[in-house]
Amino acid sequence: MKSLSAAFIAFFLSISAVHAGAWTQSQDSTFLAVSEFYFTSDSYYDLNGNEIGQPRFTKHEINAYVEHGYTDELTVGANLFLNYVDQDQVSPTGARIASDNYGLGDSEIFARYQVYRDNTYAVAIQPLVKLPAIYAEDRLPRGGGEQLDYELSLLGGMNFALFGRNHYLDTRIGYRYRHDDSLNGQYLADARVGLNIADQWTLIPAAYFTYSADLPSVAQFSQSGQNDYDLIKLEAMVQYALPDQPLRLHAGLFNHVDGRNSGTGTGLYLGGSYTF
């Protein structure tokens, strides 16, 4: 395989591997990112896409993301979530009762194999397994589903030059099989653009699309995501790479802009990443 251009390699090494797309870690190289997330929602989208009010749901989450280059073409990794969730519950008399929970959210393990790469383009396949969420209390609220999911994605990426700087585009399409007879599969797609806006600074807008393979005409909404739903999420992240250091800092915002039988909501996150 041809190697990427030296200029793009230098730029790409400053990019968070959370957005690595079709690119892989070099052999024996490890990437670790740790982020703290805050998410809140006081409504959900019904099956017609209308917003319906609900007691406010909040989630505080710590995310650890790790990748390791087994070979130059094969990267293995894990995406782990520890969260605390709370939501006012309504009693049979109509009174609101504060309720909370904590545990491991929808954590994932994956492998990414790069099948093609040249000076401009990269293509990879990525199998992934979502692990069951585990919470201290076997009740709502929860921030993850109890089922196993199996996913296979095709990843594509390209780098390009604009206004004298190097940038990149990542895309993904995939299918997720949900190992629960009551849940249908999901079609997944996302796109990210990494814009090198200044020395050491990268702006990464992104869009994520999730569509149920068979959204029922009658379905019950669940804040945990253990239901059939459609969702469009938009995100913007800014990243700063410390000069001559393998350390990067990042901050981002995201919003659930549209959906059916899924939660609305807005979130933000802060974190850092390190390559060794």
Annotated domain spans of the chain: 6-275
Look at residue 20 in the predicted model and tell me its pLDDT: 63
Residue 51 Cα distances to 46, 56, 100, 147, 273, angstroms: 6, 14, 24, 27, 36
pLDDT in tens, 47-76: 999 999 998 999 999 999 999 999 999 999
* Residues 12 and 31: beta-carbon distance below 8 Å: no
Q: What is the mean pLDDT of residues 126-139?
A: 95
Residue 5 has pLDDT above 80, yes or no: no
What's the start-to-end Cα distance of the chain, in Å? 24
**Band of residue 98 on the pLDDT scale cut at 50, 70, 90:** low
For residue 145, give the amino acid letter.
Answer: G
CATH label, 6-275, candidates 2.40.128.130, 3.30.465.10, 2.102.10.10, 3.20.20.210: 2.40.128.130
- Determine if residue 115 is left, alpha or beta; phi over 0 gives left, psi from -120 to 50 gives alpha, anything else beta: alpha
Q: Determine the pLDDT at residue 138.
A: 87
- Read off the pLDDT of each residue in 158-163 and give the average, rounded to a whole number: 94
- Conformation bin of residue 42: beta by default, left when phi > 0, alpha when psi is -120 to 50: alpha
Per-residue pLDDT at 173 exceeds 60: yes
The pTM is what? 0.89
* DSSP characters over 19-87: G-TT--PPTT-EEEEEEEEEEEEEEEE-TTS-EEEEEEEEEEEEEEEEEEESSSSEEEEEEEEEEEEEE
Closest CA relative to residue 238, chosen from 273, 202, 209: 202
pLDDT at 220: 82
Question: Residue 273: is its pLDDT beyond 70?
Answer: yes
Going by pLDDT thresholds of 50, 70 and 90, the confidence category of residue 79 is very high
- State the amino acid at position 235 in one-letter form: E
Nearest to 79 by CA among 58, 123, 110: 110
pLDDT value of residue 96: 66
pLDDT band at residue 46 using 50, 70 and 90 as cut-offs? very high
Contact 39, 58 (CB under 8 A): yes
